[in-house]
Amino acid sequence: MSLEYEHSLLQGEKLNGYGELYVKRHKKLRLKLVDGSSLAAAIVVKSIPKGTTQVMLCGNLNKVAFAIANALCQIGIQLCVASKDIGKLKAGIDGKYRCTLTCTTTYSPKVWIVGDGLTEAEQLRASPGTTIFMPFSPFPPKQIRKDCFYHVPPAMFIPSAFKNMHSCERETLNPKAIGARDRR
């Protein structure tokens, strides 16, 4: 994690605990605070094919990656990560769910959840044939494998009743889709 990113995380936590302060002050409100990061994480987790038991997590770790890792560990999917990231993830995952987090050198899972920083060398280590690369960042990875499937970035369709909805991600998504991390 970069120093700048860690600093921004600490600032957000110090200011309001990522919205926790508001929820504590207004306990009778029946709502859930959802920011773009948690929405993106939810979309990625829901997009994982049914029956998947093992997932590879690669790329730069950020708030979305930690949210995805926590969700996958809670539902019992084994999460494989490179050795350089295992310590960071263990620190960010709830203790009772850490048992589904494993360090790997084989890169064998068929579903890869990838973020910015995924290298071409890592992509080439994926199992040939049926590997799915699912990005959790707004931008998809460079497609260097012809034998693998590259999923679109986390996005969802907006209801047609919404008016004046704009997205800066129109070039990479379907015209009626909006990126999960678009904050407009």
In the structure encoding, which two tokens stand for residue 164, read together?
């004046």
Flag whether pLDDT at 42 surpasses 70: yes
Flag whether pLDDT at 183 surpasses 50: no
Mean of pLDDT values over 113-122: 92
Cα distances (angstroms) measured from residue 2 to each of 62, 132, 139? 9, 27, 19
Q: What is the model's pTM?
A: 0.72
Q: Are 65 and 72 in contact (CB under 8 A)?
A: no
Q: What is the CATH number of domain 35-179?
A: 3.40.50.720
Local structure of residue 159 (DSSP, 8 states): P
Flag whether pLDDT at 9 surpasses 70: no
In the structure encoding, which two tokens stand for residue 11, read together?
């600032």
Q: Are 67 and 38 in contact (CB under 8 A)?
A: yes
Q: Which of 9-23, 122-136, 157-171 has the lowest mean pLDDT?
A: 9-23
- Domain ranges within the chain, ordered by starting residue: 1-33, 35-179
